[in-house]
Amino acid sequence: MAIANVSRFLDEKAESQSEVAALMVPRGRTSDGAIDYLRLSFRELAAEQNEWARRFRSQGIGKGSRVLLMVKPGLPLIAICFALFKIGAVPVVIDPGMGLKSFLNCVRRSQPDFLVGISLAIWVSRVFRKSFRSLKGKVKVGGPLGRVAAEFREEAAEETLVDDLAAVLFTSGSTGAPKGVCYEHGMFEAQVEAIRAQYEIQPGEVDLPMLPIFALFNPALGMTTVVPEINPSKPATVDPKKIVQAIEQCGVTNSFGSPALWSKIGVYCDSHDIELPSLKRILMAGAPVPPSMMKQYRRILPNGHVHSPYGATEVLPVSSVSDDEVLEVAAERSARGEGTCVGRLLPKVEAKILPLCEDALGADALANPLPVGEIGEIVVTGPSVTKAYDRLEEATRLSKVIDGDRVWHRIGDLGYFDGDGRLWFCGRKVERVVAESGTFYTDRCEGVVNVHPKIFRSALISYSENGKTVPALVLEPFAGMYPNGHDEEETLLNEVRALATKSEVTQGIEHFFLHKGFPVDVRHNAKIHRLSLAKEFAGK
């Protein structure tokens, strides 16, 4: 079995790009209003990694140790993650915004050996002692600017294999309880190579990652990480002015974030007639990207493009689609109710569309995929596909298909391939509405009504009428466009009804509701909690 350790990427860049900025962490403003950054070179970041590795080893943390990481985005987060990789320990990363009850459930299930965290994290572990009873030790970490290394000193890396556990990353829990996903060192390497090749990322580029975990790819890609001024537990509260300032001041070439974030930034750029010429690419993910937003960014990015990678915590990336392909081919088809185009599969990734099934699947199910154009369950295999959930045997059994030495992941999404090899997303399996009149799919139905100029987004939900399940659409107007009074509400609802009757996909929908702000996931603030909406409108 081949030896691989993710930490080697930072060690390599400490040699090949020793004086290039690896990390820029905001620490205030200068007298002229510019962002004041703590700047570390790749060699200095590697020194931080090595010092943390030594400290952890002295605390008894080593190969196979599970380490719950509760650190704010910034210098310690990246340095500590690579230090844990280096010594063969396993960082356990749980979203901070999922709520205390869910968070504590995740801690109990993952059974960490050590806690590495800020003062608040140490306090939480004391107050909720039962949830943290597996801990053997705790290591306190300072703030986002905290440095520990005075000079560069070598530190040997543990010899880990490609299939050794590297990290446990938790899903957002947007359509169920959060689950820990087991990542191996080889899977991280496959992700790095896939992202580098797909988007033609070059060493020396500058990245602004608006999901903290994505900053971990940058040392491997040779990109400078600019830490954004953002609350990771509530990303949609971002101040777009601060993001635009960082992009302009640092010459950012690449950025990742959810459509909810880029929607706010786009409105700000339009209202101030701002272009962002340094950006080569924006990666928008976490929820489908409206074609209207891609069109909006055509003006904002004179030298760049929007890309939407598709995948999940368990398998990323699967496919990718660019703004060109969406606007030239897919947008019109989405408006007709054909779903959301998520592009073509990346090299080395294979996907099949299987008939819907709620039970576990064996390898024989892979032999009879559905034909082109027919909607079914998306299953994926490839070098970055994870093999198991952490300590959840039943969830692993239901989500994985073992095919010899290959593992296929049932992504939980529904879709189909078109005749040109593009993958189309039709919605989550658990969110489809099965009625007497047929099956309704979220992204097909919502795409029809989302073209209305006053509708920001919509949500297909299951609704009960006379004891029978029927589909309904909940509509969220753009900010500032919510109707004033009953008459305006009825006018807008009637306009959307008329739009829906023109498509075979939505003709069977008779119930429409308005909503001022959808419940969304904690990670991206973009995935709609349709099941929660269904409960909210039950009986109305």
**Average pLDDT, consecutive stretches of 10 residues, N- to C-terminus, the chain (540 residues):** 86 96 97 97 98 97 97 92 97 86 94 97 96 97 91 95 95 82 94 96 96 89 96 85 98 95 95 98 93 96 98 95 97 96 97 97 97 98 96 97 97 97 97 95 97 96 92 95 95 96 95 94 84 87
Query: Given this model, what pLDDT does residue 1 score?
Result: 63
- Report the distance separating Cα 506 and Cα 156, nearest Å: 61
Q: Which helix (H) or strand (E) holds 192?
A: helix 185-199
Query: Given this model, what pLDDT does residue 213 score?
Result: 84
Query: In Å, how far are 237, 247, 447 from 441, measured between CA atoms?
Result: 30, 38, 10
Q: Which helix (H) or strand (E) holds 513?
A: strand 511-514
> Would you tell me how many other CB atoms lie within 10 Å of the CB of residue 502?
12
Query: Given this model, what pLDDT does residue 236 score?
Result: 80
- Report the distance separating Cα 5 and Cα 85, nearest Å: 7
Tens digit of each residue's pLDDT (9 = 90 or more) over 217-233: 999 999 999 999 998 77
Query: Given this model, what pLDDT does residue 188 score?
Result: 93
Map residue 160 onto helix, strand or coil.
Answer: coil
Query: In Å, how far are 37, 62, 78, 117, 122 from 137, measured between CA atoms?
Result: 33, 12, 21, 11, 11
Angle at 168 between CA 66 and CA 220, to 5 degrees: 105
Considering the segment(s) 432-537 as one domain, its CATH architecture is 2-Layer Sandwich (3.30)
Query: Given this model, what pLDDT does residue 99 score?
Result: 83
Query: Given this model, what pLDDT does residue 471 score?
Result: 97
The neighbouring-strand residues paired with 115 are 68, 138
- Report the distance separating Cα 251 and Cα 205, nearest Å: 9
Q: Count the residues in the chain.
A: 540
Map residue 127 onto helix, strand or coil.
Answer: helix
Q: Which helix (H) or strand (E) holds 139?
A: strand 137-140
Residues 409, 380 contacting (CB under 8 angstroms) = yes
**Backbone Cα Rg of the chain:** 24
- Report the distance separating Cα 457 and Cα 477, nearest Å: 7
Beta carbons within 8 Å of 526's beta carbon, 6+ residues apart? 236, 258, 259, 260, 286, 287, 520
pTM across the whole model? 0.95
- Report the distance separating Cα 141 and Cα 56, nearest Å: 12
Residues 408, 401 contacting (CB under 8 angstroms) = yes
Beta carbons within 8 Å of 289's beta carbon, 6+ residues apart? 259, 306, 308, 326
Tens digit of each residue's pLDDT (9 = 90 or more) over 274-309: 999 999 999 999 889 999 999 999 999 999 999 999
Domain ranges of the chain: 432-537
CA 451 to chain centre: 25
The neighbouring-strand residues paired with 306 are 282
Show the beta-strand stretches assigned E in 242-390.
Answer: 254-257, 281-284, 305-312, 315-322, 340-345, 350-354, 376-381
